[in-house]
Structure 1
Amino acid sequence: MTKKSFPKPSDLPVPAGAEGWEKIYPYYLVFQDKLKDKENEKFWFCDSQHWPTVFKPFETIGGEFAVKCLGQYNARHLMIPNANGIEFRVHLGYLYMSPVSVPADEMATRVPEFQARITHYFQNWEPMLEEWKKKVRGTIDELESLTFERLPDMVPMADIESGKAMDGSEVLLENYDRLIALAYRNWQYHFEFLNLGYIAYLDFFNFCKEVFPDIPDQSIAQMVQGVDMELFRPDDELKELAQLAVELGLQDRFTDPDDAAGTLTAIAAAEGGDAWIARWEQAQDPWFNFTTGNGFYGHDKYWIDHLEIPLGFIADYIRRIDEGQTIKRPTAELIAEKERIVEEYSDLLDSETQTVFDAKRALSATAYPYVENHNFYIEHWTMGVFWRKVRELSRTMHSYGFWEEENDLLYLNRNEVRDALFDLVTGHGVGAPDGPIGPVYWPEIIAERRKIVTALKTARPAPALNTPPEAITEPFTRMLWGITTEQVDSWLGVAEEGSEGVLKGMAASAGVVEGRARLIMDSEQLSDIQDGEILVAPVTAPSWGPVFGKIKAAVTDIGGMMSHAAIVCREYALPAVTGTGNATTTITDGQLLRVDGTTGKVTILDGEGAAPRVEGPGAHSHDHAPAPEPARV
């Protein structure tokens, strides 16, 4: 019998060693026994697209700020008629979400405000976006200015003479509060334009569905593709550096990019090396403020702090250039295909409808790049500086004996850190021999929390909780996360006949290819990817761009048509199927797959769980299926 619902939160077993896990997170982030009946009535899905790893206590800040600020722009700024924000909870270490709908009788009253607000933005898009960049950069500069230094053993005589009357503790306390406030500020800025980008695309999407009832979702997406996004700029910088290295004959200096200092010294000593180093240093600000993760975790590695990462990508690009491969994105081909599809559908419209179509497409194309570009400014740049400052504070407190490992501050929540800081400055200021209490209080608690987090990581999250609604209509849930009625049915095992060995997901980027699977569960494994493999991951990060030129296709567990994985794959002309729900738990490394990004199907061709063999010609790399014929209207 087919299941009708997912497990309730209380039904999921707690991994051995993780007992008491609820206590390591703030009370308002976990399901409450007193609210069990209400919370069990709601459908919750796991956002492993943005938070694929168990939270350490301090790391919930990213989830809290992001989802709260997303909601405020829907419900308080833009007054979107059919969508409020998203409730969220942490369960067994993972983030679960439940979209909040607008009561039917309130929708009409929000329409005038919604129209007025989005009209203001869309009529002033360019100047407001320029102002947005200044606001965000200003916040980043403030973050950079924060310091978390040890307190002086003795206040300097100059401070006595100037009447400063402070001991430096106020800097630690105030800068910590500013650190949190500045991150919160940029997360509010983050959503000022993001939801508008989705709204513009959704408006164009819905219009196309109305006038072309049979138009594939992908054809609509292709009508706004081929854009020059700032999110691709870090990867483009690496490609230019690789090309310059080849032109200067520096290939032999990249034999050991893991030794960043040695590699850069060898380049600088070579003929023409000074020109390359100058270009390298130019690229770093700001484009190396980029992480191989997604910016939401304290362990994410940023290029600017780990120069071996960009050097490794450059070395691989050099290899591919020397082998005669093309490393640039096929932008010209994407634009040509976009223009072909636009013309094909435009020809079917009368002049009046054509005018509306052109206006909506132009607006969507204008707003669309921001859907990805904001990532660089917030998740990468802002959060890169934020985590660097968090590590600096953690090291300072570690030097006073508060914890055993330099980065153990991550096992405290942000309010506990403030208490620990006051403990530190009090113990230091009093001058008692025993000092602050923290060194005898926190190590034992951190050890217990470390054990709990490690235990939570041993279990994969349930894709969803409780009973889903009969139909999922909330537009952001569908577009961004790929949470559709069909996908939920698939997760529940409502399988199509003859679907053994076939995974169904979102048809995110067109094309059909065959290749061997490479499972990537963490960005640390990216170097394992070989040319021509198919990337299978819970989710891809936008910063994985340097490997997209090596792979044939991408398959993810979660993500919709406007997810990062879908957008990036379309811009690299790679077939992609997103939102499969269980690709990483069904497919094993090395299995032969056929990825059909046009229909949203992934077929396992060999090994355990393979589909029954069907005789016929196989697909080959980059044999992209022709675009479906447009509907006649």
Structure 2
Amino acid sequence: MTVTEPTPSAAAEPAAAPALKSFPSPSELTVPEGAEGWDALFPYNLLFANTPDSDERFWFCDSQHWPTAFKPYETIGAEFACKTLSQYNTRHLLIPPANGIDYKIHLGYLYMSPVPVPPEEIPGRVPEFEQRVGHYFQNWDSLLDEWRVKVRDTIDEMEGLSFPALPDMVPLADIHSGKGLDGSEVLIANFDRLIQLCYQNWQYHFEFLNLGYLAYLDFFTYAKQVFPGIPDLAIARMVQGVDMELFRPDDELKKLSLLAVELGLQAAFADTADVEGTLSAVAALPRGEEWLDAWTAAQDPWFNFTVGNGFYGHDKYWSEHLDIPLGYVADYIRRVEDGQEIMRPVDALVAEKERIVEEYRELLDGDELATFDAKRGLAATAYPYVENHNFYIEHWTMGVFWRKTRELSDLFVQAGFWAENADMLYLDRGEVREALFDLISGWAVGVRSTGPHYWPAEIERRRVIFDALETQRPAPALNTPPAEITEPFTQMLWGITTEQVQQWLAGDEDASGGITGMAASPGVAEGRARVVHRADQLGEVEEGEILVATITAPSWGPIFGKIGAAVTDIGGMMSHAAIVCREYGLPAVTGTGSGTTTIRTGQLLRVDGGTGRVEILEG
């Protein structure tokens, strides 16, 4: 692998004129064999078939957050995220040009369509917008401190929920006290409360996130105004090199690795798949207890972290699978012994940020300079939240949510409703509540509930449909795109720009030579491709390879020290993939649209994160 660091340049020119004028409509997409009847698994309001104007609007697939097909229960993340994102645009902040993001599920994948504000309504929203946003920006630190308390209180209450098995008989003490209840109301109330608390933290999630994007967008727009032709990447680098809570889990593992080397404990990490054996081996070594104390201290809260993105019930969390963080520690120990620098290059990132900022500041004076400094300062203040929310919501909140979901499902397993606790994911949450009443009703009546007769075969039928949906990658977009995409969040977060959409329409005309995406993180690297579709494939990544993925999750930090660069199908300048790669000093090209379908594992690639070009050199 070779790496260089060129001067950032503007994004590469878009591909030649598109071969097609539009993407297929939802009805034109082929249903995979075996997936017939898939639409009956999802709520009516999430289907294109029940949306009269769906063929008249442009939709893109959000494979950045939901790269694999949904099981019915898993739609909760998409529903809550899209609804609450939208409410802050439309009802809280009244963002002048942007309403919410409409969302539908098609063939198991999520599609989105930004909803613009009619031009004549924009002026009336401006005064309210300025007053509301101004309150947050003027009180940012204190409001954010309150936000952490609200979110943590919600998580703590969720942790306290339980789903106890129903007793053979009501305790005699309840008879004597006149309680008049049988305990089943606790199961219903706790399930309802679990959903409510999850929904509550998703509302908190977007309280600050849209503001973070707004602050950056304001700075971005001003920089483009005073510096015509400035590369998008140069603007992004003016806020890089910050201390983010999202990076703490990975940083904790690095500190544990350095401590293990310092204490001479390397031999104990030979087989980290055996967690008890590894920790016992550490304890048996001189000063091993010192390391174990640090290991225990790091877990709360930083091991509330998943190798996925938190949106799926199958995501594995460090706190429940300690072999995962132990494996990362062992790999970091190996790198330290090889003489590698494992810590993020924060000092270098900060120095580069300051250099770029000063170069552009020297071109301004007077009011323009004061405005530039104020807007950049606000963007830098709000910028860390754009990633930090991930730890609190997608990782910590959703980790507790999925664990409590499994605890409830275990109750159904014991009652014979289904065989494994993961089977409950094939029900939507409304069906879970119905099944819960079926369970308690049979218990109360003294007969076998209907669920054990109904659900095993129905779950197996749904499993076949889901497996068929998984065999087909989603279309990147649907219907006719607008002549120009101007909605700022769509551009910055998802990388859905006019140029990128045109390139997607052009198809694979240049696939033999390479593909073009967004210049998301500077640097040039060459290496063999490793195409990864799921987090459980990360163990296959080898030193120096180029990671090619639908999207990279923020939690993939522990492998960033191994790879030479990252290439993703979707994601804009402010996507998680772009931000994380910049903070790790890793070249990245995002929003290619077809990286994982065009590139094959083993091909030799050259990735230029400064121009957005990925060349296929051989293979």
Q: Which residue of 2 aligns with 1:452?
A: 465
Distance in 2 between the 1:443 and 1:149 partners? 23
Distance in 2 between the 1:261 and 1:337 partners? 44
Distance in 2 between the 1:406 and 1:158 partners? 33
Q: CA deviation at 1:264?
A: 1.0
Q: Which residue of 2 aligns with 1:174?
A: 189
Q: Which residue of 2 aligns with 1:377?
A: 392
**Residue aligned with 2:64, SS:** coil
Q: Which residue of 2 aligns with 1:621?
A: none
Q: Which has the larger displacement, 262-271 or 470-479?
A: 262-271
How does 1:604-615 map onto structure 2 within 5 Å?
604-607=616-619
Superposed CA deviations along residues 175-202 of structure 1, whole A, max 9, x for unmatched, are 0000000000000000000000000000
Distance in 2 between the 1:513 and 1:354 partners? 36
Give the TM-score taking structure 2 as reference length: 0.96
Q: CA deviation at 1:268?
A: 1.4
Are 2:99 and 1:87 aligned?
no
Choose from 527, 532, 548 the match for 2:560: 548
Choose from 263, 269, 273 the match for 2:288: 273
- Contact 1:84–1:99 (CA under 8 A) maintained in structure 2: yes
Q: CA deviation at 1:528?
A: 1.2
Q: Which residue of 2 aligns with 1:74?
A: 89
Unaligned runs of 5+ in 1: 608-633
Superposed CA deviations along residues 189-227 of structure 1, whole A, max 9, x for unmatched, are 000000000000000000000000011111100100000
Are 2:519 and 1:519 aligned?
no
Are 2:582 and 1:567 aligned?
no
Choose from 11, 28, 33 the match for 1:11: 28
Q: Which residue of 1 aligns with 2:474?
A: 461
- Contact 1:231–1:375 (CA under 8 A) maintained in structure 2: yes
Choose from 213, 228, 239 the match for 2:243: 228
Q: 4+ residue runs of structure 1 moved beyond 2 angstroms?
A: none
Distance in 2 between the 1:437 and 1:594 partners? 59
Distance in 2 between the 1:423 and 1:79 partners? 44
Distance in 2 between the 1:495 and 1:180 partners? 43
Are 2:596 and 1:581 aligned?
no
How does 1:364-513 map onto structure 2 within 5 Å?
364-432=379-447, 435-493=448-506, 501-513=513-525
Q: Which amino acid aligns with 1:17?
A: G
- Contact 2:511–2:598 (CA under 8 A) maintained in structure 1: no
- Percent identity, aligned pairs only, is 68
- Contact 1:511–1:575 (CA under 8 A) maintained in structure 2: yes
Choose from 311, 335, 342 the match for 1:327: 342
Q: Which residue of 1 aligns with 2:612?
A: 600
Q: Which residue of 2 aligns with 1:615?
A: none
Q: Which residue of 1 aligns with 2:371?
A: 356
Q: Which residue of 2 aligns with 1:286?
A: 301
- Contact 1:395–1:407 (CA under 8 A) maintained in structure 2: no
Q: CA deviation at 1:161?
A: 2.0
Choose from 535, 539, 550 the match for 1:538: 550
Q: CA deviation at 1:495?
A: 8.2
Distance in 2 between the 1:114 and 1:508 partners? 30
**Residue aligned with 1:253, SS:** helix
Q: CA deviation at 1:502?
A: 2.1
Q: CA deviation at 1:436?
A: 1.1
Superposed CA deviations along residues 533-571 of structure 1, whole A, max 9, x for unmatched, are 111000000000000111111000000000000000100
**Residue aligned with 1:302, SS:** coil
- Contact 1:234–1:290 (CA under 8 A) maintained in structure 2: yes
Q: CA deviation at 1:430?
A: 1.2
Are 2:58 and 1:2 aligned?
no
How does 1:154-233 map onto structure 2 within 5 Å?
154-233=169-248
- Contact 1:239–1:314 (CA under 8 A) maintained in structure 2: yes
Q: CA deviation at 1:527?
A: 1.3
How does 1:334-353 map onto structure 2 within 5 Å?
334-353=349-368
Distance in 2 between the 1:205 and 1:500 partners? 35
Are 2:70 and 1:55 aligned?
yes
Q: Which amino acid aligns with 1:571?
A: E
Q: Which amino acid aligns with 2:604?
A: L
Q: CA deviation at 1:500?
A: 5.1
Count of aligned pairs between the two proteins: 602
Q: Which residue of 2 aligns with 1:618?
A: none
Give the TM-score taking structure 1 as reference length: 0.94
Choose from 308, 312, 324 the match for 2:323: 308
Higher relative contact order (CA 8 A, sep 6+): 2
Distance in 2 between the 1:273 and 1:373 partners? 32
**Residue aligned with 1:49, SS:** coil
Superposed CA deviations along residues 78-115 of structure 1, whole A, max 9, x for unmatched, are 00000000111000000000000000000111000000
- Contact 1:411–1:450 (CA under 8 A) maintained in structure 2: yes
Q: Which has the larger displacement, 526-535 or 454-463?
A: 526-535
Distance in 1 between the 2:261 and 2:424 partners? 44
Flag the 1:331–1:222 CA change in 2: closer, same or farther, 3 A.
Answer: same
Q: Which residue of 2 aligns with 1:557?
A: 569
Q: Which residue of 1 aligns with 2:3?
A: none
Q: CA deviation at 1:162?
A: 2.1
- Contact 2:524–2:607 (CA under 8 A) maintained in structure 1: yes
Q: CA deviation at 1:406?
A: 2.3
Distance in 2 between the 1:180 and 1:347 partners? 53
Flag the 1:499–1:349 CA change in 2: closer, same or farther, 3 A.
Answer: farther
Distance in 1 between the 2:551 and 2:152 partners? 28
Unaligned runs of 5+ in 2: 1-17
How does 1:129-168 map onto structure 2 within 5 Å?
129-168=144-183
Distance in 2 between the 1:337 and 1:192 partners? 31
Flag the 1:447–1:500 CA change in 2: closer, same or farther, 3 A.
Answer: closer
